[in-house]
Structure 1
Amino acid sequence: MSDFAITGLLIVSLFALLGSGVWIGLALTGVAWIGMQLFSARPAGDAMAVTIWGSSSSWTLTALPLFVWMGEILFRTRLSESMFRGLAPWVTWLPGRLLHTNVIGCAIFAAVSGSSAATCATIGRMSLPELAQRGYPDHITIGSLAGAGTLGLLIPPSIIMIVYGVAADVSIAKLFIGGVIPGILLATLFSGYLMVWALLHPDQVPQPDQRLSWRQKLHESRHLIPVVLLIAAVLGSIYAGIATATEAAAVGVVGALLLSAVQGSLNWQTFTLSLMGATRLYCMIALILAGAAFLTLSMGYIGLPRELAEWISGLGLSPFMLMLALAAFYILLGCFLDGISMVVLTMGVLLPTVQAAGFDMIWFGVFVVIVVEMAQITPPVGFNLFVLQGMTKKDIGYIARVTMPFFFLMCIMVLLLWFFPQIATWMPSHM
């Protein structure tokens, strides 16, 4: 059987399992077992046991459940309410006024979360009722929240970056640093769009409730102090070289627990809910990673990555065209899979091709995170769309439609990243 026929069989098997409702991790494991059992000489059971154990016991991966737990703790505190009170007085002079709390709030929370869905849900729980009460249009409120919620993947700490770093054997600390400038730039693009929209539709932007003096604004800003301190503790320990990403994650968990205790929202119920929520989410992620690791091994034995790399190389694509092809590939894949599955499923196949094309691995990691962000707001499997559908009870088609301007802003960000790669590589190179 030819390599393309084998590839087709495995792809059909994968989507058949996913379509039947089998968990993603088990579907990946099943397809890997089929490939190794039918098309390689190595015993599939032995390979599966060794690979799954090895992928599950990685020390680097320890940071992942800790960051997930930190986000769960913060999700159940009054942090979001405090953030809104601290941010609102400073954005009323901008065109678009309180709409910018979606973008700035998501950017700030992304720096202590690492999850797009958690960022979108937490800030949405804060901003949607407040903005609706003040008369801001639903379409721009929901669209800006869906777009800005994706910053949870790009601004460190990022769960996707940890997954990519493990899969591609790249320094997670350098990936975190590489995501800072692109994250700030993307947030700036989002805010810039809101300003332009507000200038074009001045009648749809409510007037501010009250005008505060500088003294009053500074007084309200005290509510931002806890989250700023937590960001400084987590990211500062990494950038200063004091802690690894895993150690910084532990610092973040302790800081989040202290923060919730000071706020008075830490009790036994909050603690157990956050711990169980983090456990469930990480178990799902770990199962996906284990299945993808086995699938990567299986494809390696069959020889598919080498064949695919040679086929792509034979197309004679320029690096720019390869980048566009990969962006389109990930956006299409994002219509059917979540971000973590996309990264772990494709890295084993694409890395040889990417390395042969001369792409910097830190740059490519940031690029992958941005295109995975775009997949978070593309139906039918757009996690941020699901989150907002549950919160707003709106049709998912409506949510996807009002989010499209922010999807195109991400496309612009990908082009900026290509033409100015220093956006992602300058800070890590000076680490």
Structure 2
Amino acid sequence: MAKVNLQRLASLEPAARKALVRRSETDLSYFLERVQPILDAVKKEGDEALARLGREFDKADGLTPGDLKVTDADFDRAFDQVDPKVVDAIRFGIGNIRSFHEEQKPEPMWLKEVRPGAFAGDRFTPINSVALYVPRGKGSFPSVTMMTSVPGVVAGVPNLAIVTPPGPDGAVDAATLVAARLAGVETVYKVGGAQAVAAVAYGTDTVQKARKIVGPGSPWVVAAKRLLAGVIDPGLPAGPSESIILADETVSGALAAMDLLIEAEHGPDSSAWLVTSSERVAEEALSALPDLWSRMTPQRAEFSQKVLSGPSGGVVVANDMDDACAFVNEYAPEHLEILSTRPFEYLGEITEAAEILLGPHTPVSIANFALGPNAVLPTSMGAATYGPLSVNDFMRRSSIGYVTQKGYPVLADAARTLAEYEGFSSHAIAVSDLRQSYLKG
């Protein structure tokens, strides 16, 4: 049984404390070097490279350039392959996700009269084409399909396409196809990893070029997004899963341990910490883990044991809850549970978290699958500047200005004064008396 990492903040040197917040994708040098040849191959060879790389990396034996796009028959067959109870759960989750994101959608346009006769505002229109990345390396994730597809559909993006790795049989996960169709996306490509990012960035004979890509992925995907940022908008930084369970003395340590394992089971590159000021909670959590691991599938138990015994996971004991909250803000987690019977007492102290789930009845599981807020979240301290994936990520904002004859003189005078001060003669001429003479004809 793995020995779980236990840290006490009071005894840590600054360098050791800093090491606790480090993520698996902080240093991408290993992946950047190895990803570049993949991107070059896709740019040069297109579909041929995608099929070859699918056979090599995804073990999709027999995958050919003609197999890269999911067919209508594949979609229809998926509904026969997926348990009706799973289909119903997907439909239920999509309903809540759609309801939540419809509330996010901005008004198409607003204008405010900033001065008499002068109007300014914004107009929102959907991005023309967005690719949705759905990972598969450590499992199948129809929930990611739900979370990426629904806001894009609500935003009205005319060209939405999913890229996801094929399995060894060369097929896309059936539940992913069910989720795509129920969400309203009918274009799915059997392409994953760094090569998928290259495919939608450059376009191929089969894969349509996109202006943006969203969705979580491995460090290989993160590295590809970084290298292609000048070709395609890489969206918010979404890498391997990470979470903090912030627990006070009002809850069971076993409950905290159970929720700690939620994100830890994603893979050995995940990050997961239980942060508490209670020695009792810490001890109960450590004692509960062996039993919880025995209830998990062997692979997921192994993943979470590696996380909690390594440098990116375990139990952190703080001096008090103020210290615990300060550590959370320093960490800027993707997922944060405030596990307490009085969670709102701590909410005001948290400023750096992408998702904040309040109370013992709001585990990350519910948020990931069914509640409605988006579970595609910034990682690697991205929460310090980014928020969750939203409808706005699928829209572009244009500023709108309209000045009437009545409003023109006072704005022109101010603009001319500043233009002359900054030395822009053409700016100044455009709002000089010469304009008035042209307007009079």
TM-score normalised by structure 2 residue count: 0.27
Structure of higher CA gyration radius:
2
Q: RCO (CA 8 Å, sep 6+): is it higher in 1 or 2?
A: 1
Choose between structure 1 and 2: higher helix proportion: 1
TM-score normalised by structure 1 residue count: 0.27
